[in-house]
C-alpha cells in the first residue's frame, strides 16, 4: 500500500485560479505561479487546507506585484535616490514623452528636405549651447559616456590614461574608475598621492604612450585638510602642449549655480570646466540636471564628431523617448535660465523649496489624520541631495512623524510600503518619518489615504 502524504487531495489548478479571483497580474503569470505551487505540494509531506493554499498563493502574487516598476511616494528626503529612480520629470517633459511615445516622429527625418536626417540634431545643438561647448552628444548614461571616450581615445601605442590617485573613485554600486578603465582597454597611469597631486606629477607621467589626461569629479565624497590638486588651466595647457585630449568626468551635471539653491556647495558645471580648458566633459542626465537617464558629452567639435563616428557609439545611443525628454529638459534651462526653470525641473524645485512651505503642509496633514489610531506630529529632518552628489549638503527639512498605537513601527512601515501607492519613509527616534521635501504637494491626498489604509487594514501582505 502506498503511503499518502496526507488525506487531503492536491487542489486542482483550475479550482485555485477560480478561488484567486482578479489578481491584477497577467493570467499567464498567475497560472505559472499556481502550477509552481501545485508542484511544490506534490512533493510536500502534508497538504494544507484549500483556504490556506489560496492565502499562500495570494501572498506570493502580492510579492510578484510588488516587483513591478511602479510609482512610489518618496518620503526619505533623498532627492536623487538611485534606488527610487533618481530624478522625477516635470509636467512639460512628461507631456513631450506622451506625444512622442504615441506617434511617429522626425527622429531621423529631415522635415525640410523630406530625406533622412540626423538623429537628435536639435537636442545636440541646444545641449552644446547649454554647456558652452562647440558640440555635444548623448549616450545611455555617464558610465557609457566614459567608456566610449576611453575606448575611442586609447588605441594603438597610446593606451595610458593619466589620472590622480585622489580621483580613483567608486561611484555607486559597481562603478569604479580603475575597473572602467581596465574594461575599456585603457592602462591606468596613476599620479600623485591620495591627498596631493601636483602639476609636475602629471607632467612627469605624460609621454609617447599617453592617450589622455582624465579628471574625475569627486562627486560622492569630500576631501579636506592637507589636500592639493593642480588647477584645471595649467593641466589643460600641459595636455595642449603634449597634444593629448583632456577629459573631465563631472558626474552630477549641474548646469545652474548650485550655491544659489538653498546654501549648497558649488558644483562645477560643464560650461565652467570647458571654459577652463577641459576639451571634453561628460556627466549624467538624471542627477542635478534633473532629466532622464542619459550620459551627456560636450566639448571640442573635433572630439565629439570622432566619438559619434566610433562604431561603439551605435551600441550606446539613446532611445527616442530619452532624447525627447532630454530635449525638453535642456530647453527649459535655455528658456528660463535661473529661477523659473525650477517649475519645470522637480529636482531644482525640491532643492530650494522653503521649509515654511513644508511646515504648512505637515500641519495640514497632522490635522487631517486626527481621527486615526496614531500620534501624528510635525518633526524636523535633514534632506539630502543623494545620487552621489553634493555629499556635504544637508537641507533643513520638515517631516510628518507618525507613531501608530496598535502597530509596531516595522509592521507599519511594511504596510505603507505594500500599499497603493507604496510609501517609503524611515524610522528615527522611535517614530516613522516622512520627509515632505521629496513628497510632491500633489501627493498629499494620496499620502493621507495610504496612511489611513495602513492603520485600518486587517493585516499586511496583500
Ligand atoms: C554618477 C557618476 C557617474 C555615473 O553616472 P551614470 O549616469 O549613473 O552612469 C560617473 N562619474 C561620476 C563622477 C559620477 O558622479
C-beta contacts of 167-175 below 8 A and 24+ residues apart: 167/214, 167/215, 167/216, 167/218, 168/216, 169/216, 169/218, 169/219, 169/220, 169/221, 171/219, 171/220, 171/251, 171/388, 172/82, 172/220, 172/388, 175/143
For a mutational test of ligand 1's pocket, the pick from 138, 144, 170, 171, i.e. the residue with the most ligand atoms closer than 8 A to its C-beta, is 171
d(CA 67, CA 84): 13
Angle of the 444-456 helix axis to the 409-417 helix axis, nearest 10: 130
**pLDDT value of position 460:** 47
Peptide bond into 421 cis (omega under 30): yes
Least confident residue range of 24-33, 63-72, 249-258, 387-396: 387-396
**pLDDT value of position 112:** 96
**pLDDT value of position 401:** 98
Q: Which atom of ligand 1 is nearest to the CA of 286?
A: 7
Which residue puts its alpha carbon closest to atom 10 of ligand 1? 251
Q: Which atom of ligand 1 is nearest to the CA of 145?
A: 9
CA angle centred on 58, ends 54 and 63, rounded to 5°:
150
Which residue puts its alpha carbon closest to atom 2 of ligand 1? 251
**pLDDT value of position 459:** 57
Q: What cell numbers appear for 112 in the block? A: 525640410
Least confident residue range of 29-43, 130-144, 155-169, 334-348: 334-348
- Per-residue confidence at 171, pLDDT binned at 50, 70, 90? confident
Q: Which atom of ligand 1 is nearest to the CA of 175?
A: 4
Q: What is the pTM of this model?
A: 0.93
**pLDDT value of position 221:** 78
Least confident residue range of 72-86, 102-116, 182-196: 182-196
Q: Which atom of ligand 1 is nearest to the CA of 217?
A: 13
Which residue puts its alpha carbon closest to atom 3 of ligand 1? 251
Q: How far is the CA of 251 from the centre of ligand 1 (A)?
A: 4
Q: How far is the CA of 235 from the centre of ligand 1 (A)?
A: 22
Q: What cell numbers appear for 84 in the block? A: 527610487
Phi, psi of 411 (to 5 degrees): -65, -40
Q: What cell numbers appear for 132 in the block? A: 558652452
Average pLDDT over residues 60-83: 96
State what percent of residues in the chain have pLDDT above 90.
Answer: 82
Shortest CA distance to 297 belongs to which of 287, 307, 309, 312?
Answer: 307
**pLDDT value of position 220:** 78
| CA distances (Å), origin 133, targets 130, 213, 313, 408 | 8, 19, 20, 55
Average pLDDT over residues 181-187: 91
Q: Is the pLDDT of residue 328 over 70?
A: yes
**pLDDT value of position 205:** 96
Give Cα 48 to chain centroid, integer Å: 44
**pLDDT value of position 461:** 45
d(CA 209, CA 225): 34
Residues ≥6 apart with Cβ < 8 Å to 238:
199, 202, 203, 206, 213
Q: Which residue has the higher pLDDT, 6 or 203?
A: 203
Mean pLDDT of the chain: 93
Q: Is the pLDDT of residue 396 over 90?
A: yes
**pLDDT value of position 39:** 95
**pLDDT value of position 462:** 42
Q: How far is the CA of 142 from the centre of ligand 1 (A)?
A: 5
Give, for 94, the enclosing helix (H) or strand (E): helix 91-102
Average pLDDT over residues 179-185: 90
**pLDDT value of position 456:** 87
Average pLDDT over residues 440-450: 97
Give Cα 419 to chain centroid, integer Å: 23
pLDDT digits (tens, 9 = 90+) for 255-288: 999 988 877 889 999 999 999 999 999 999 999 9
| CA distances (Å), origin 152, targets 64, 156, 237, 344 | 42, 11, 22, 36
Q: How far is the CA of 74 from the centre of ligand 1 (A)?
A: 22
Beta strands 431-435 and 395-404: pairing type?
A: antiparallel
Q: Is the pLDDT of residue 341 over 60?
A: no
Least confident residue range of 73-87, 162-176, 188-202, 349-363: 162-176
Q: Is the pLDDT of residue 48 over 60?
A: yes
For a mutational test of ligand 1's pocket, the pick from 284, 292, 387, 390, i.e. the residue with the most ligand atoms closer than 8 A to its C-beta, is 284
Q: What cell numbers appear for 192 in the block? A: 600623485
Amino acid at each position: 500500500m502506498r503511503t499518502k502524504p496526507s488525506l487531503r487531495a492536491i487542489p486542482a489548478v483550475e479550482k485555485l485560479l477560480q478561488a484567486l479571483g482578479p489578481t491584477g497580474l497577467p493570467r499567464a503569470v498567475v497560472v505559472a505561479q499556481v502550477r509552481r505551487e501545485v508542484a511544490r505540494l506534490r512533493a510536500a509531506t502534508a497538504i494544507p487546507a484549500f483556504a490556506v493554499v489560496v492565502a499562500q498563493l495570494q501572498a506570493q502574487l502580492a510579492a510578484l506585484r510588488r516587483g513591478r516598476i511602479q510609482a512610489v511616494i518618496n518620503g526619505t528626503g533623498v532627492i536623487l535616490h538611485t534606488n527610487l529612480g533618481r530624478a522625477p520629470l516635470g509636467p512639460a517633459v512628461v507631456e513631450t514623452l506622451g506625444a512622442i511615445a504615441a506617434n511617429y516622429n522626425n527622429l531621423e527625418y529631415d522635415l525640410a528636405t523630406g530625406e533622412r536626417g540626423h538623429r537628435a540634431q536639435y537636442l545636440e545643438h541646444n545641449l552644446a549651447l547649454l554647456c558652452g561647448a562647440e558640440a555635444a552628444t548623448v549616450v545611455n548614461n555617464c558610465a557609457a559616456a566614459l567608456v566610449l571616450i576611453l575606448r575611442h581615445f586609447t588605441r594603438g601605442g597610446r593606451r595610458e590614461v593619466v589620472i590622480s590617485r585622489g580621483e580613483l573613485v567608486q561611484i555607486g554600486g559597481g562603478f569604479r574608475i580603475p575597473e572602467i578603465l581596465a574594461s575599456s582597454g585603457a592602462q591606468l597611469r596613476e599620479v600623485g598621492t591620495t591627498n596631493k597631486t601636483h602639476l609636475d606629477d602629471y607632467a612627469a607621467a605624460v609621454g609617447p604612450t599617453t592617450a589622455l589626461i582624465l579628471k574625475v569629479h569627486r562627486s560622492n565624497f569630500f576631501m579636506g585638510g592637507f589636500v592639493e590638486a593642480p588647477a584645471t588651466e595649467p593641466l589643460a595647457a600641459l595636455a595642449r602642449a603634449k597634444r593629448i585630449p583632456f577629459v573631465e568626468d563631472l558626474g552630477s551635471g549641474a548646469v545652474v549655480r548650485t550655491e544659489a539653491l538653498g546654501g549648497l556647495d558649488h558644483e562645477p558645471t560643464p560650461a565652467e570646466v570647458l571654459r577652463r580648458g577641459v576639451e571634453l566633459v561628460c556627466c549624467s542626465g538624471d542627477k542635478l540636471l534633473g532629466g532622464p537617464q542619459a550620459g551627456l558629452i560636450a566639448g571640442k567639435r573635433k572630439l565629439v564628431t570622432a566619438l559619434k563616428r566610433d562604431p561603439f557609439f551605435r551600441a550606446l545611443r539613446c532611445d527616442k523617448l530619452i532624447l525627447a525628454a532630454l530635449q525638453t529638459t535642456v530647453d527649459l534651462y535655455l528658456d528660463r535660465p535661473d529661477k523659473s526653470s525650477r517649475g519645470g525641473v522637480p529636482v531644482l524645485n525640491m532643492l530650494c523649496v522653503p521649509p515654511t512651505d513644508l511646515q504648512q503642509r505637515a500641519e495640514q496633514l497632522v490635522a487631517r489624520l486626527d481621527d486615526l489610531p496614531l500620534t501624528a506630529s510635525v518633526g524636523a529632518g535633514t534632506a539630502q541631495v543623494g545620487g552621489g552628489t553634493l555629499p556635504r549638503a544637508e537641507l533643513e527639512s520638515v517631516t510628518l512623524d507618525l507613531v501608530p498605537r496598535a502597530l509596531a513601527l516595522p509592521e507599519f512601515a511594511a504596510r505603507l510600503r505594500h500599499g497603493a501607492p507604496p510609501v517609503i519613509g524611515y524610522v528615527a527616534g522611535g517614530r516613522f518619518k516622512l520627509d515632505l521635501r521629496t513628497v510632491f504637494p500633489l501627493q498629499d491626498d494620496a499620502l493621507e489615504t495610504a496612511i489611513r489604509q495602513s492603520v485600518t487594514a486587517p493585516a499586511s501582505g496583500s
